[in-house]
Amino acid sequence: MYSTKYVKPNSTTEALEAIKSLGEGKFLAGGMTLIPTLKQRLASPDGLVDISGCKLDSIADEGETLKIGAMARHVSVAESAVVKKAIPALAKLADGIGDRQVRNRGTIGGSVANNDPSACYPSAVLALKATIHTNIRSIAADDFFTGMFETALEDDEIIEFISFSKPTKANYVKFPNPASRYAMVGVFVAQFGDEVRVAVTGAGEGGVFRHQEMESVLSSNFSADSLSSVKIDSDGLISDLHASAEYRANLIKEMTKRAVV
Amino acid sequence: MNEVTKIDGIGSSVRRTEDKKFLTGKGKYTDDINRPGQVQAYFLRSDVAHAKIKKIDIKNAQSAPGVIGVFTGDDIAADKVGGPICGWVVPCRDGSATKEPPHPLLAQGKVRFVGDAIAVVLAETAEQAKSGAELIDVDYEELSPVVDFENAGDGAQIHDEVPNNCYFDWELGDEKATADALSGAKKIVKLRVRNNRLVPNAMEPRCALAEFDNLDDSYTLHTTSQNPHLTRLVLAAFMFAIPESKLRVIAPDVGGGFGSKIYVYIEEAVCVWASKKVGRPVKWTADRTQAFLTDCHGRDHVNDVQLGLDENNKIVGLRVDTVCNLGAYLSAFSVVVPTYLHGTLLSGQYDIPAIYTNVKGMATNTVNVDAYRGAGRPEATYLLERTMETAAREVGMDPAEFRRINFIPKDAFPYQTQVALQYDIGDYEPHLDKAMEMIDYSNFEKRRAEAAKRGMYRGIGISSYIEACGLAPSAVVGALGGRVGLWESASVRVNPTGTISVFTGSHSHGQGHATTFAQIVADKLGIPMENVEVVHGDTDKTPFGMGSYGSRSLASGGSAISKAVDKIINKSKKIAAHLLEASEDDIDFKDGKFVVGGTDKEKAFGEIALAAYVPHNYPLETLEPGLEENAFYDPTNFVYPSGTHIAEVEVDPATGVVQVVDWAACDDFGNLVNPMIVEGQVHGGIAQGIGQALLEDAHYDENGQLLTASYMDYCMPRADDLPSFKVGYTTTPSTVNDLGVKGCGEAGAIASPPALINAVIDALSPLGVTDMSMPATPQKVWKAIQDSQSVAAE
Ligand SMILES: Cc1cc2nc3c(=O)[nH]c(=O)nc-3n(C[C@H](O)[C@H](O)[C@H](O)COP(=O)(O)OP(=O)(O)OC[C@H]3O[C@@H](n4cnc5c(N)ncnc54)[C@H](O)[C@@H]3O)c2cc1C
């Protein structure tokens, strides 16, 4: 790791001031992605602004939506009675991220800002029609994820919280990469009355995506059987050591079936 | 109250006494040791697989902050320091010798794998050393990389000394007799199997701390080694040409080795060299990436097998042609692993009248390949047990029965195989029977049918393995090309109050020697094991010893301890005879007491010890005072653990996921000193075998880049990948050593991969799947199911 500056402000306002004064600065949330990158010398920011003191970790049920602060750790979401009641699938997703150590440190904001193509949360954000609230604006999930490791966030824009629409029914099923246990394919299915949203992570060359055909099939008949006729196209899917595009296509359908219960 | 009546002797499952420090994080590893004034080393490594080095520019690095020195291969060469040596070579079929290219400590003119060290940077801190290394400019002329070892003969030549990239082309057995047997066979079963390449992944990465004392011209090296004496011998005699007495090697707590810490690596040697060069202690600690790139890997074979059967399905002959990947340089035991530790095991548990094998060891632009838990024997067992299962399937016999009719019969021991080894003792049907009983083999079809109702494919697979361990009779080793002796040593010191210090040449890096060895001594002397302390790992403290690998510590190291204790008992009897005014022949030793036969006159062991050190009443004219004995034990034969493992799996056809649902391991390890430690070794071995069979695969791309260089892509087994193991034993005590022990450290890793793959194939056999390579990943299994279905549809 190259040596770098470290500051830990007490509010978002101070954090934004700090990052502006640093040149090429980086927000530090749980550090589960950023710190390994620094250790391997793959990044050399001018400084780190630790946002864990900025009071961004609240979780609240706001009626129509569930609001989760960017600094909420995976473990907090997994164990939160509020989340378990409002959107149990989201608690289940958080509980399946990485290992205990990662869940104790990693945050929802960090996960969503990073938009790792194999991360779990982006699928929930997309399927649950979430809105990402930053220091300057609110961004709809459909506009937020712009490609692998790419989001609509500007430089020095900070996610403050994310609000999720409460579904009638939702489920997340993940097929973990055997080695890393990130999602090799993860499918988040959310039903809002007649509308069904299916978001797929781990599989797309462009990162998380919605699967329109399955959405429309499930909207008219919400059952695993109805998916049998759907053919998942392997074009645009990731092919790597662990899974070919064809195998991922198979997993997408299989995980979706398992999510529809 | 403190009652010390029970002796925790041989056969008792005593808890491991060393675990307190490990479980509380108090182990002391090399990296925990720091010396005043030490500098940190960082190795600049090649990021290309095969290239000529045109120029190395170190100027900018030399003046970087904190940098104390930057050195390249030329500096090492100027001091005439040699590289690591190959400890065992074999003759080739054409009469030539193994080709042994030099392995310079730092690259000289050429790099041969990604990770090959080019320069070392010494600095005040590790980060400064690394930053300095980033400023070194290396000008490469890239050469075409050789990665595919099966076709390495057609690739660019890696070493001038190794034509066609073939280090050796070796054979064993009778080619003609085998060809005749196969041509007369009623049926020939053919199989091509691949033994996947593995990264050892010891929990503690390698580390070295070297210090030079200019007052007496001597070095001290703390290092992560399985055999500190061997490391000292190689460094002193072969690399630095200094007297052994001028180099002390200490291997303190070592966090796992699995073979990867047997060899002397270039980094340790460079630290030793540099400590004198800069006059300060030099420390180097590998990070996990360097461990992946530069620790010797394991396995990496392709085997073509032909097994001939007669009309009664009895085996008439076996031919195996093997090509194996040895990587960029010849590591210490890389040659013996695929030859004498592999070819000699091809008879397995079976009576095979004709065997022939040929092995070609290839050079490639990948890191060196050497011993890894089992070393050659897992490869032999895998190909043989896969073939046995395939043969049974092809002739329509139950695989257990097919094995049974081909087992070496119980009354045929000692049994001379057609591949050099003579098995002293064994009895194979009982462990097959017991394993079948443990897993409820006879009701398997019911379980298969029940699983089918749930849409799952259930399968069962057997592996009956043998291994040769307790390395090894030195004379045999020498006759077969070994350059070392493989005896073991022990020194047993009785302290004046009767407590014992055992100094062993074996090294413990997870095996539990402090407990097992103490139990042997306690048992033989009839004293509590708390009174026995085991010292290992320091060349200044322990007698010259050969270290721990090849499941040899108990059979060889334990036997040396036992012999030394026998000498202690003999001398004690003489002392007792004097004190009890009796004839030595009348003294019996039992339960820690020396008794004059038929009388109540006795002396406790502690009294004898005191008399030996306070010899006021002592036969000084005939006996030296003191009570301390050395023993060197050189076995007369290998020991031959054997056993049967049976795996049961369920395959989910929708995803290809294989779940190991049950496991029965029935092993014959001879006598057990500590059954709990043995069971732990079995568990760990099976876990590693399941890792190989389902999860692990070291994968280089065609450019020689290791794609699986982190845990993001290299899959290690985790607890939830494993079933609960059923472990059982049968016992035929080894006739080779007095303790009747064999060895258990590698058995699990040897036995398990074929059992598991056989089970996967069995599970998928209703679909017409007949082959599966390791690791059986979900994607591969799913693909095999898809392919079988498309064949069926045609
Ligand atoms: C071993 C391991 C296993 C894992 N397994 C999984 C898994 O199964 N599923 C999964 O989804 N993830 C997994 N992860 C990733 C984990 O969820 C990380 O926590 C997550 O990727 C990043 O969150 P963080 O809080 O650690 O962010 P950090 O590492 O601190 O930051 C990541 C990036 O986001 C930026 N950032 C952080 N917070 C904000 C914010 N509020 N506003 C704007 N930018 C911000 C940072 O500047 C940085 O660029 C795993 C990680 C590890 C190490």
> Is B707 in contact with A241 (Cβ distance < 8 A)?
yes
Q: Is B667 helix (H, G, I), strand (E, B) or coil?
A: strand
Ligand 1 site residues (CB inside 6 A) read A 26-34, 51, 70, 97-98, 102, 105-107, 109-111, 113-114, 116, 119-121, 153, 158-159, 181-182
Joined tokens for residue B487: 């005896």
3-state secondary structure of B677: helix
Q: Which CATH class is domain A169-259?
A: alpha beta
Assess whether pLDDT exceeds 60 at residue B4.
no
Mean pLDDT score, B12-34 = 95
Return d(Cα A93, Cα A74) in angstroms, integer: 9
- pLDDT, residue B527, reads 93
Kindly report the protein residue whose alpha carbon is nearest to atom 5 of ligand 1: A98
Size of interface A-B (CB pairs under 8 A): 45
Helix (H) or strand (E) holding B660: strand B657-668
The interface predicted TM-score (ipTM) is: 0.96
What is the reported pLDDT for B3? 43
pLDDT of A66: 98
In a mutational test of the A interface, the residue from B199, B652, B702, B712 whose CB has the highest number of chain A CBs within 10 Å is B712
The per-residue pLDDT for range B492-512, each reduced to its tens digit, is 999 999 999 999 999 999 899
- The angle formed by the CA atoms of residues A130, A132 and A136, to the nearest 5 degrees, is 150
Percent with pLDDT over 70 in chain B: 99
* Whole-number CA gyration radius for chain B: 28
Q: Give tens-digit pLDDT for B606-641.
A: 999 999 999 999 999 999 999 999 999 999 999 999
Which residue puts its alpha carbon closest to atom 4 of ligand 1? A98
Q: Give the one of B289, B654, B708 whose C-beta lies nearest to A254's C-beta.
A: B654
| Residue B484 confidence class, pLDDT cut points 50, 70, 90 | confident
Task: Report the alpha-carbon angle B753-B759-B765, nearest 5.
Answer: 135
Mean pLDDT of B253-277: 97
Which chain B residues are closer than 8 Å to A179 by Cβ? Answer: 695, 708, 711-716
Sorted by sequence, the CB contacts under 8 Å of residue B746 that are 6+ apart come out as: B373, B374, B375, B377, B378, B467, B469, B550, B551, B685
The closest-lying atom of ligand 1 relative to the alpha carbon of residue A153 is 43
Going by CA atoms, what residue is nearest to atom 16 of ligand 1? A106
What's the confidence (pLDDT) of residue B1?
Answer: 34
Listing DSSP states for B184-251 in one string gives T-SEEEEEEEEEEEE----SSPPEEEEEEETTTTEEEEEE--S-HHHHHHIIIIIII---GGGEEEE-
Any idea which fold A59-165 has? Answer: 3.30.465
Kindly list the residues from chain A whose CB atom is less than 8 angstroms away from the CB atom of residue B782. Answer: 247, 250
What does the pLDDT read at residue B794? 65
A31 Cα–ligand 1 center, Å: 7
Chain B residues with CB under 8 Å of A244 CB are 779, 783
**pLDDT band at residue B551 using 50, 70 and 90 as cut-offs:** confident
The answer to pTM > 0.90 is: yes
DSSP-H helix ranges across B7-72: 19-23, 59-62
The answer to whether the CB atoms of B695 and A3 lie below 8 A apart is: no
> Is residue B766 scored above 80 in pLDDT?
yes
Å from CA of A69 to ligand 1 middle: 14
**B498, B655 in Cβ contact below 8 A?**
no
Q: What is the pLDDT of residue B5?
A: 47
pLDDT band at B6 (very low <50, low <70, confident <90, very high): low
Residue B594's pLDDT is: 96
| Fold match flag (A5-50 vs A169-259) | no
Structure tokens at B738: 């007095």
Q: Looking at CA atoms only, how far is residue B663 from chain A in angstroms?
A: 21
Whole-angstrom Cα distance, residue B515 to residue B677?
9
Partners of residue A3 in chain B, C-beta under 8 Å = 127
* B658 to chain A, closest Cα gap in Å: 12
How large is the average pLDDT for residues B131-150?
98
In the predicted model, what is the mean pLDDT of chain B? 96
CATH topology (fold) of A5-50: 3.30.43
pLDDT-derived band at B485, boundaries 50, 70, 90? confident
Q: So where are chain A's domains? A: 5-50, 59-165, 169-259
First and final C-alpha spacing in chain A: 47
- Find out whether B363 and B328 touch, Cβ atoms under 8 Å: yes
Using an 8 Å Cβ cutoff, are B87 and B484 in contact? yes
By the 8 A CB rule, do B776 and B464 touch? no
Helix ranges restricted to H, A80-120:
81-86, 88-95, 100-105, 108-114
Q: Are B122 and B40 in contact (CB under 8 A)?
A: yes
Residue A51: per-residue pLDDT: 98
Place of tokens 């073979």: B259
Q: Closest CB to A180: pick one of B699, B712, B782.
A: B712
In which residue ranges of chain A is pLDDT below 50? none
Residue of A nearest to B289 (CA): A40
What are the tens digits of pLDDT across the range B711-733? 999 999 999 999 999 999 999 99
Q: Are strands A145-147 and A183-192 parallel, antiparallel or unpaired?
A: unpaired
Question: How far away, in angstroms, is A235 Cα from ligand 1 center?
Answer: 28
C-alpha–C-alpha distance, residues B565 and B562, integer Å = 5
Does the structure show a pLDDT above 60 at B442? yes
At B309 the pLDDT is 98
Angle at B260 between CA B258 and CA B264, to 5 degrees: 140
In this prediction, residue B471 carries a pLDDT of 86
Residue A6 makes CB contacts below 8 A (sequence gap 6+) with A28, A47, A48, A50
Rg of chain A over Cα atoms, rounded to whole angstroms, equals: 18
Confidence label for B550 from pLDDT (cuts 50, 70 and 90): confident
Over range B26-53, report the average pLDDT.
Answer: 98
Provide the chain A residues 124-183 that lie in CB contact (below 8 A) with chain B.
Answer: 175, 178-180, 182
Confidence at residue B96, expressed as pLDDT on a 0 to 100 scale = 97
Q: What is the pLDDT of residue B790?
A: 83
Domains and CATH numbers, chain B: 3-26+487-633 (3.30.365.10), 38-143+203-256+261-294 (3.90.1170.50), 297-471+637-793 (3.30.365.10)
